[in-house]
Every structure is written in structure tokens, then in C-alpha cells.
Amino acid sequence: MPHRVVIVGGGFGGLYAARSLARAAVEVVLVDRRNFHLFQPLLYQVATGALNAGDISGTIRKALKRQGNARVWLGEVVDVDPVARRVLLRDGTLEYDSLIVAAGLRTNYFGHDDWAPLAPGLKTVEDAGEIRRRVLLAFERAEREEEAAGRVPWLTFVIVGAGPTGVELAGTLAELARHTLRGEFRAFDPRQSRVILVEAQPQVLPSFPPRLSVATLRSLRRLGVEVRTGCSVVTLDALGVEIDCGRRRERIAARTVVWAAGVRGESLAQVLARGTGCRLDGWERVLVGPDLTVPGYPDIFVIGDLAHVEHRGAPLAAIAQPAIQEGRYAARLIQARLEGRTLKPFRYFDKGSMATIGRADAVVQFRGRGFSGFFAWLAWLVIHLIYLIEFENRLLVMIQWANHYIMRRRGARLITAGDAWAGARDPQHEAGRHSVHENTVPSAAKRTPVSPP
């Protein structure tokens, strides 16, 4: 019976680990609760209607189709027994000889989990669909408001957190309002809408060098994004947020709030901590040893966003490159051990990090240096296209982008079913009490006869 490697999670880390084992004398079982790999760096494009979810994902099964020693297992891991070497699924068990946990991160509300329905994060395809729905519905509701004052909260969009996701979302939302939707409404000009980016740290993109933060701030302002640095959210409800900026507090009336302020480990990290006694960091990521294994359990690897791996005195960022390199390392170490060898500790090869700001503008940092502007954006574009795992999607995504870039069009602006909003955002209002079924949309706040233009 061959050595069985169970991999939990089909993101960059898990998928690269599986592929790197293609020629090893092992049996690979990749377990994921979703049937697809998601290219998360472009998820904000789905949230703003430029791309379809299908454009940035591919099935895990297809990615491993030609790898004869790999099986794909649709299932959710709920527990790990490190002594019996077994993972427990919601509906089955899987025995392993080596286990690679690459379960990733989820949105972190820092103890305010009640804010989740009020301000979705952006980690899953469903999150992206929900943000798109709220944003587009907000404009629709504004169109039906009789008074200009009533439109203001619908046309105010607050993004909490100015890391790459928050910056990318804010920039794209500002462009959506200023360009894509221009001329589509009769009651108002979408350029009246406000996009407010709130960040607790003193600058945007706090993990980037200060020079790039300054460049980003300038770009965001040029797009019309209002930036509030040094401000943290203290209350959040269906009608808006209150932010604390040190000396002053501000109430922002906004019907649409997006949470991009933080992430934490998927629950599997706590499962591992219970089972193996391993330690977690403040984000609930697993503190792994220099060979990416859990201390005391050399057969359990944790890789990707869920692993806390130090690099030059700070943990590696939750981006694709560390996950890919860690996945490859784990695969190589497993192979080496089967051959009676071992490997030097994992070392990260820095390929930099980047973020876009709206159309044709980006910042790139690379080993302490950085650049910004159009060429940074080109670099971003090329690198992201190269790493799109589903090869067939590359051309299509590029064309959609070109189309979007040249024409400022967004072809995926469907509002599809969902009942979270009407109830959660607007509990006092009539429609919130209906169960919103398949074909209805939540209704505006009051009866509004058409006021002829």
C-alpha cells in the first residue's frame, strides 16, 4: 500500500503540493469542500461586476485530471486524529501517512461576529456575489428614492480596511460609479456617490513601504475615494458606521459597508491546536517549525495562508507566492523522507507583492524596493495572467479585461437571489418580513410613486 498524502484545501498551497507529488511513489488525496480552485487575487473584480466567478476559477478535478496518483475528494474536514493518523470528514474518514493542511483564512471581525451580516468580507465566491448584489441594489434603490436626502446613504459605500483588498475594492467601486454607471440613472448622477476607505493604521497599504503608501493615497484620491486613515470602526449597524479617529468621532450614513479589515485562520487551525497542542498566532494561524510541520508531529504540515512562517522577522503575507513555495517544499520533503533523505529548512524566495488601484494603476514592492503607476499595473497584469491555473481561462479573462479597460464596461452585473440583505440590513422595513423568494428583489424603504422627471 503506497504512502498516502492527504491534502486539505485546493488553493494555491494545496494544489501546488499535489502537483509537486506527481512523480512521487505516493497516493495523493486532495480534500476540499468546494469543487473548484479560486483565483482569489481577482475576486474583487467579481465583487464589482467585471468578471464572472467562472472566469477566475477552475475545477480542482480538472487541474489534477492527468495526475494518475491523485484523487480529488469533495468533503469537509471537521477533525484530525494525529495519533491514529486520520482526518474525520463530515461524512467519512480518511487515513493518512502524511497530512498537508492548507485550509486558508476567513474574514476576521475581531470579536464582532454580529457585524458579518451587516458588512460582508471578500473571501469566497458567495462573498463576492453578495457584495455585487448590495452595491448594485443600492444604486437601484437610490433611483427609487423621492428625495435627494434619502439617496445619500444608498450612494455612500464604506470599505473598512486599506490593505490590498480594501484598496482594490475602493478603487474599482469609485470607477464603477464614475464611469461604468454614468448616464444609466434618471434620478441622480452616479458620480454623486461617495466611496470612503477607513483604515486604523496611519497609512493605506500598511504592509508596503511608506513611499508606495503615499503613491497609493494619491491615486485613490485622484479616483475620488475619500480616505480616513487612523480611524477605526466603533459601531456598525444597518444604517452606517461610526468611526473613531482619535481626537474626533464621525458617523457615516451608509447602506453598504464592506469588511476588508482582517483575516483569521479557518477553524481547522483550532482543531489542530486541540489535537496536537500546537500554538496559534494572533490571527489563529499555526506556528510551524522550520520544515513547515507541526512541532512534535513531523507527518503534519501546515502551509499557505494558514501557516505562520517567519521571514526577515515578520510572518509571510497571505498571498499566493508563499503558499506555492510552501506547497512545493512540503511535497519535496515528503519525497526526500521516503528516500531516506531530509531537506534544509524552508526558505522563502521573495517575488514581491502588489496591489492595483482602479484602472491602469498599481503598486509593486520587491525586496524592499518598489514602483507604482502604469508599468506597475502592467507587471501586475502579466503576473496574474501567468499564474491563472486554468489555462483555458487566461485568454478569456484577458479579453474581458481589455474590454473593461478600453470600454470601462462591466459585463457581469446580475443581481441574483439572496435573502440576507433585506432582512439584515433593513430590519424595520416591510419587505424584510417577507421571505424573499427566487424571483423577487428586496423592495425600497417606502411606497414611492414615480415622480415624473
Query: Could you give the residue numbers annotated as active site?
Result: 168
Q: Are 353 and 369 spatial neighbours (Cβ–Cβ below 8 Å)? A: no
Which of 66, 247, 248, 344 touches a copy of itself (CB under 8 A)?
A: 66
Which of 110, 392, 427, 433 touches a copy of itself (CB under 8 A)?
A: 392
Using rule CB under 8 A, residue 84 touches a copy of itself: no
Q: Which stretch binds a copy of itself (CB under 8 A): 164-172, 221-229, 256-264, 401-409?
A: 401-409
| Least spacing, CB of residue 387 vs a copy of itself, in Å | 17
Q: Hey, what's the torsion of the CAs at 392, 398, 404, 406, to 10 degrees?
A: -150
For 352, the grid coordinates are: 514581491
Q: Are 410 and 180 spatial neighbours (Cβ–Cβ below 8 Å)? A: yes
Q: Are 215 and 163 spatial neighbours (Cβ–Cβ below 8 Å)? A: no
- Using CA atoms, how far residue 54 sits from 47, 123, 211, 386, in Å, is 13, 15, 36, 17
Q: Return the number of other C-beta atoms located less than 10 Å from residue 126's C-beta.
A: 12
Which residue, 95 or 299, is less far from a copy of itself as judged by CB?
95
Which residue, 309 or 445, is less far from a copy of itself as judged by CB?
445
Q: Which stretch binds a copy of itself (CB under 8 A): 50-58, 250-258, 334-342, 343-351?
A: 50-58
Using rule CB under 8 A, residue 279 touches a copy of itself: no
**Contacting a copy of itself within 372-391 (CB under 8 A):** 390
Which residue, 52 or 207, is less far from a copy of itself as judged by CB?
52
Which of 3, 112, 117, 140 touches a copy of itself (CB under 8 A)?
A: 140
Which of 3, 22, 79, 89 touches a copy of itself (CB under 8 A)?
A: 89
Q: Per-residue x/- marks for a copy of itself, 160-199, CB under 8 A? A: -----------------------xxxx-------------
Q: At what angle do helices 12-20 and 320-338 cross, to 10 degrees?
A: 30
Query: Cα(269)–Cα(285) distance, rounded to whole angstroms?
Result: 6
Which of 22, 75, 405, 424 touches a copy of itself (CB under 8 A)?
A: 75
| Least spacing, CB of residue 184 vs a copy of itself, in Å | 5
Residue 204 identity (one-letter amino acid): V
Which residue, 308 or 404, is less far from a copy of itself as judged by CB?
404
Q: Per-residue x/- marks for a copy of itself, 202-241, CB under 8 A? A: ----------------------------------------
Within its chain, how far is the Cα of 400 from the centroid?
Answer: 20
Q: Per-residue x/- marks for a copy of itself, 93-132, CB under 8 A? A: xxx----------------------------xxx--x---
Which of 80, 393, 421, 423 touches a copy of itself (CB under 8 A)?
A: 393
Using rule CB under 8 A, residue 310 touches a copy of itself: no
Q: Which stretch binds a copy of itself (CB under 8 A): 16-24, 198-206, 312-320, 397-405?
A: 397-405
Using rule CB under 8 A, residue 2 touches a copy of itself: yes
Q: Per-residue x/- marks for a copy of itself, 405-424, CB under 8 A? A: --x-x-xxxxxxx-------
| Least spacing, CB of residue 71 vs a copy of itself, in Å | 5
Which residue, 54 or 373, is less far from a copy of itself as judged by CB?
54
Q: Are 57 and 10 spatial neighbours (Cβ–Cβ below 8 Å)? A: no
Q: At what angle do helices 391-407 and 374-387 cross, to 10 degrees?
A: 150
Query: Cα(5)–Cα(18) distance, rounded to whole angstroms?
Result: 9
Using rule CB under 8 A, residue 396 touches a copy of itself: yes
Which residue, 83 or 314, is less far from a copy of itself as judged by CB?
83
Q: Which stretch binds a copy of itself (CB under 8 A): 1-9, 155-163, 276-284, 323-331?
A: 1-9
| Least spacing, CB of residue 39 vs a copy of itself, in Å | 12
Which residue, 107 or 321, is less far from a copy of itself as judged by CB?
107
- Using CA atoms, how far residue 53 sits from 57, 138, 169, 272, 321, in Å, is 7, 21, 16, 31, 22
Question: In which residue are the cell numbers 492527468 written?
Answer: 66
Using rule CB under 8 A, residue 433 touches a copy of itself: no
Which residue, 30 or 220, is less far from a copy of itself as judged by CB?
30
